[in-house]
Amino acid sequence: MTIRHVVSWQLATADPAEKAEQAARIAESLEALVGQVDGLHALTVGTDVVGGGNWDVVLIADFDDVEAIDRYQVHPEHVTAAGYIRSVVAQRSCVDFAL
């Protein structure tokens, strides 16, 4: 069973240039995990193009199973990426569901 992992972040900064820079760094660090984590077979990071009250950045990742998500969470590169993400976000939302 494939598990889809969806995380949305609202960045703390209101400055558009800072948002773009932070979103790019988030995307680069997370997309680098493809091929590094056993059981992670697809990962996309996108940024909001509409604005307003929308969330700023979204991660959509597909894993073989819940155990693969667990491996992803403790992978050293993910731990580093998550540390940076926590330093620049105001809010986080997450849902994991079976496809």
The C-alpha atoms of residue 69 and residue 87 are separated, in whole angstroms, by: 22
CATH code (residue 45):
3.30.70.100
What is the pLDDT at residue 73? Answer: 97
User: Quick check: 52 pLDDT over 90?
Assistant: no
User: Quick check: 40 pLDDT over 90?
Assistant: yes
State the residue range of the domain holding 84.
3-98
Find out whether 7 and 91 touch, Cβ atoms under 8 Å: no
The residue-averaged pLDDT of 50-75 equals: 95
Report the mean per-residue pLDDT for the chain: 97
Query: Of all residues in the chain, what percent carry a pLDDT higher than 70?
Result: 100
Categorise residue 28: left if φ over 0, alpha if ψ from -120 to 50, beta otherwise: alpha
pTM for the full predicted model: 0.94
**Domains contained in the chain, number:** 1
Name the 3-class secondary structure at 1.
coil
